[in-house]
Structure 1
Amino acid sequence: MSETNRIEYKSQLTKDLDLEKEVVAFLNYREGGNVYIGIDNDGKVCGLSDPDGDALKIKDRIRNNISPSAMGLFDVVAEKQDGKDVIRIIVASGSEKPYFKKKFGMTEKGCYIRMGTAAEPMPQFMIDKLFSSRTRNSIGKINSHRQDLGFEQLRIYYDEKKKTLNKQFRKNLELLTEDGFLNYAGYLLADENNISVKVAKYSGNSRVDLIENNEYGYCSIIKATKSVLNKMEIENRTAATITPKERNEQRLWNAIALREAIINAMVHNDYTREIAPKFEIFADRFEITSAGSLPEGLSKDEFFEGYSVPRNKELMRVFKDLEMVEQLGSGVPRILEYYGKACFHFSENFLRMEFPASERVTESSTTQVTPQVTPHVTPHVTPHVTPQVEKLLNVIDDTHNSQELMEMLELVNRKYFRKSYLQPAVNAGLIELTIPDKPRSSKQQYRITEKGKQLRSSAMKLDKN
């Protein structure tokens, strides 16, 4: 394969190789690009003798020799081609153009742009034009509302990946403004903030009947993201259709696409508007709405082809450090693989993703069962126990009133709780009333029966197996 406007080949990494020029050119190019080390100009694979050592040198050179900071805008990936080791440098288009080599500054010797298959010096008039329109309203340039912030949650997540945050981590992770104050990226990653991340659930296909309203915000955006992922892992149950010949299983949503979409929304949301992504579960679909439409200079076609223009490079870097994202530009193609372009909806100020469910998410009032096909949802304690009753059995451990049980289940709709959780459990003899002769008593409480305990114990054993 020959070089293109988005592909550059270099046979070896040497001190004489002007790697920074190639990277700067792609940072300034609206589509970004890829630099391959270990392949010559003719496309012949030469291979590298020390790919790991070369990868470290590449990261250091890009980090130290290019301005504005390119951290969060590039990946260095080791690959095999023709059985030989090569390195691929994935470069995203930056939002703070013009990028330049620090040694020469914002001049024609320091600024480059991709033209065809070559990195060409950027004319001074273009440098001046880009600088005058440079995006300054970013989370890296906005001062945090608070400067008395802690980062214990972030330290724990880095420790889990055997990475240490030293005393200079605020500077190293670009959580400070040029004046040395904590920026809005630091605010989002801190232990406490005022960003509310919600996962709402409705009984129908509209927002009329809210049955759950889970809030995971006011903490590190990393912790909030993991909480949303965990919540949706629980919601994304496996539906099974049993016929006389076979059992067909399918989750409500594709797990890979779901994870990519949630993380993409958290990383690329426009937080300068102080709005967090919103996650909503309907009876027929799952919706994600994030602030900000397409990044400036990126068309819909380029978006769908996987060209990456990270809106929040500081967040992208941390998410990559914690291995929550793999490489730049990989999220959208993975979503498209399962749901296609139709799941994306763009407006002037928002991006919405819609994922249809493989079957009804919330139970309808009537369920028809034929002898030929039996709808069945796993996991169940028994075929007669709904997921809602199963959840109730899992949380009840003493005597509780209805309000306490609703809070434990994170429910807000009392009518839905009684109809779908409490009453079926009582009717099945799994939950009993403490004042059975006065079911409407204000002092009424509920406790699990021996039958309920046996079913719960059986379910735990099945889960372990």
Structure 2
Amino acid sequence: METEELLAIIARDEDSRHQFKADVNNASSLGAEMVAFSNSAGGLILIGVKNDDGSRSGLTRDDIGRINQIVANAATNNVRPPINPVTENILLPDGLVIVVHIEQGISKPYMDTQGFVWVKNGSDKRRVTAREELQRMFQEAALIHADEIPVGGSSVTDIDQEFFDAFFEREYGERVEDQDVSRVQLLENMNLAKKGQLNICGTLLFASRPQMRLPIFIVKAVAFPGVDIEDEHYLDSQDINGKLSDVFQKVLGFVLANIRHVQNEQGINSVGEPEIPRIVLEELIANALIHRDYFVSAPIKVLVFADRIEIVSPGHLPNNLTIENIKMGNSNIRNPILASFAPKVLPYRGLGSGIKRAIRAYPDIEFIDDRAGNAFKAIIKRAQ
């Protein structure tokens, strides 16, 4: 780092990527700061800069050796798993400053020696205590997936037996009753249950009434006459629930019923083709149902306006995946069990091809990765 760059950072004061310390003497306290940076977007700790006014405390060469040893000890012994920060010693007119570079971690969540998880909160740090936030951090590290979480109070009796048996015979060419294991064991072998309880995937796909156990995992669909959300005036509104396959068909039907259909070259008595190609709606609805974040207690929202359709999924894009990535067909499977079953129950092909296929059929689609609001939005523009 150049001296001018360092002075510019100091002049701008602390923020979520930069923290100042006049000195450090405690590896445990420094370790907690390193944990917060590692669990967030990474950043710099400037040692030798006072955090109250940005003045330099004037570190000496003796200080440098002592502090670098504390930094090494903190990174190795006070951060779990350990990290590897990079340090720079920069000479300013009034003394030395140590710049500690901490990268965003790839093994989140990081913890201190007490097992506490910290994240950056503006220029300070915040201890994570909310279960959903911790679960999402474990999810980012691929240590846990929402679709495999057991559903409290559920059991094999929640399964729509006729529906499941027909699915099993269609996919595997054998009858359930001809298997050498019980139905409970069969569901566990298929990663749909554990210890007699259905997981989220098994419940959403095969339970007779999934929302009895998972009431928040519905789709709220509303059609408005204009271009803004109105509390009192709407054309159509539905809370859509049921098995995932039923939800898909109901949502698709809702959208198709609330957009225009064009005759094109069809006969005058025909229903006509929807103004937005059906494959676009299929791909984006399936994408929302399969790839939403099921750690977030919120419904999917499908909003039909006069000039656009918005499909809003709980959960921003996982890890470092970007909109540019998904447009190129890249994917990061958030719900692997659900994604493995999806092609068997929905018009879903997986492999990250859905977004590409939708854009190819109808380029006028905007995607918004709302990390602050923890949501992903697909906006399909309508011709007016």
Equivalent residues of 2:282, 2:347 under 8 A apart: no
Instruction: Indicate how the Cα distance of structure 1 residues 325 and 169 shifts in structure 2: closer, same or farther if over 3 A, else same.
Output: farther
* Correspondence for 1:207: 229
Does the alignment pair 1:145 with 2:174? no
Does the alignment pair 1:351 with 2:360? no
Residue 290 of structure 2: SS of its match in structure 1? helix
For structure 1, list consecutive stretches of 5 or more residues without a partner in the other structure. Answer: 1-94, 98-130, 243-248, 360-465
1:22-37 superposed matches below 5 A? none
Query: 1:58-95 deviations in whole A, cap 9, x for unaligned?
Result: xxxxxxxxxxxxxxxxxxxxxxxxxxxxxxxxxxxxx9
Instruction: Indicate how the Cα distance of structure 1 residues 315 and 164 shifts in structure 2: closer, same or farther if over 3 A, else same.
Output: farther
Query: 1:389-433 deviations in whole A, cap 9, x for unaligned?
Result: xxxxxxxxxxxxxxxxxxxxxxxxxxxxxxxxxxxxxxxxxxxxx
Instruction: Indicate how the Cα distance of structure 1 residues 183 and 250 shifts in structure 2: closer, same or farther if over 3 A, else same.
Output: closer
**Aligned-pair CA distance for 1:239:** 2.6
Instruction: Indicate how the Cα distance of structure 1 residues 158 and 231 shifts in structure 2: closer, same or farther if over 3 A, else same.
Output: farther
Name the CA distance, whole Å, in 2 between partners of 1:206 and 1:296.
32
Query: 1:342-363 deviations in whole A, cap 9, x for unaligned?
Result: 510110111111111234xxxx
Name the CA distance, whole Å, in 1 between partners of 2:375 and 2:338.
19
1:433-452 superposed matches below 5 A? none
Q: Percent identity?
A: 24
1:95-106 superposed matches below 5 A? none
Residue 256 of structure 1: SS of its match in structure 2? helix
Letter of the structure 2 residue corresponding to residue 213 of structure 1: S
Name the CA distance, whole Å, in 2 between partners of 1:255 and 1:211.
21
Does the alignment pair 1:289 with 2:312? yes
Residue 252 of structure 2: SS of its match in structure 1? helix
**Aligned-pair CA distance for 1:201:** 0.9
* Correspondence for 2:47: none
Residue 271 of structure 1: SS of its match in structure 2? coil
Residue 272 of structure 1: SS of its match in structure 2? coil
Letter of the structure 2 residue corresponding to residue 225 of structure 1: F
* Correspondence for 1:267: 290
**Aligned-pair CA distance for 1:299:** 3.0
Instruction: Indicate how the Cα distance of structure 1 residues 160 and 203 shifts in structure 2: closer, same or farther if over 3 A, else same.
Output: farther
Superposed CA RMSD in Å reads 3.3
Name the CA distance, whole Å, in 2 between partners of 1:133 and 1:200.
32
Residue 290 of structure 1: SS of its match in structure 2? strand
Letter of the structure 2 residue corresponding to residue 172 of structure 1: N
Equivalent residues of 1:253, 1:358 under 8 A apart: no
1:147-186 superposed matches below 5 A? 147-148=154-155, 149-152=158-161, 153-157=163-167, 166=176, 167=183, 168-177=185-194, 179=195, 181-186=197-202
Equivalent residues of 1:199, 1:228 under 8 A apart: yes
Equivalent residues of 2:323, 2:369 under 8 A apart: no
Query: 1:179-238 deviations in whole A, cap 9, x for unaligned?
Result: 553222222222222232222111111111223111221x21222112212333334442
Q: 1:334 aligns with which of 343, 357, 379?
A: 357
Instruction: Indicate how the Cα distance of structure 1 residues 232 and 333 shifts in structure 2: closer, same or farther if over 3 A, else same.
Output: same
Residue 146 of structure 1: SS of its match in structure 2? coil
* Correspondence for 1:58: none
Instruction: Indicate how the Cα distance of structure 1 residues 251 and 187 shifts in structure 2: closer, same or farther if over 3 A, else same.
Output: closer
Name the CA distance, whole Å, in 2 between partners of 1:258 and 1:205.
19
Name the CA distance, whole Å, in 1 between partners of 2:253 and 2:170.
18
Equivalent residues of 1:250, 1:358 under 8 A apart: no
Name the CA distance, whole Å, in 2 between partners of 1:136 and 1:253.
39
Name the CA distance, whole Å, in 2 between partners of 1:271 and 1:180.
21
* Correspondence for 1:39: none
Residue 198 of structure 2: SS of its match in structure 1? coil
1:42-441 superposed matches below 5 A? 134-148=141-155, 149-152=158-161, 153-157=163-167, 166=176, 167=183, 168-177=185-194, 179=195, 181-189=197-205, 190-192=207-209, 193=211, 194=215, 195-208=217-230, 209-217=233-241, 219-240=242-263, 251-322=274-345, 324-340=347-363, 343-348=366-371, 349-359=374-384
Equivalent residues of 2:152, 2:197 under 8 A apart: no
**Aligned-pair CA distance for 1:241:** 8.0
Equivalent residues of 1:146, 1:187 under 8 A apart: no
Letter of the structure 1 residue corresponding to residue 204 of structure 2: L
Name the CA distance, whole Å, in 2 between partners of 1:226 and 1:298.
28
Query: 1:272-294 deviations in whole A, cap 9, x for unaligned?
Result: 11323211111121110001111
* Equivalenced residues, count: 225
Name the CA distance, whole Å, in 1 between partners of 2:358 and 2:107.
28
Name the CA distance, whole Å, in 1 between partners of 2:238 and 2:222.
6
Equivalent residues of 1:155, 1:164 under 8 A apart: no
* Correspondence for 1:403: none
Letter of the structure 2 residue corresponding to residue 355 of structure 1: I
Letter of the structure 2 residue corresponding to residue 170 of structure 1: L
* Correspondence for 1:48: none
Name the CA distance, whole Å, in 2 between partners of 1:132 and 1:151.
29
**Aligned-pair CA distance for 1:161:** 6.1
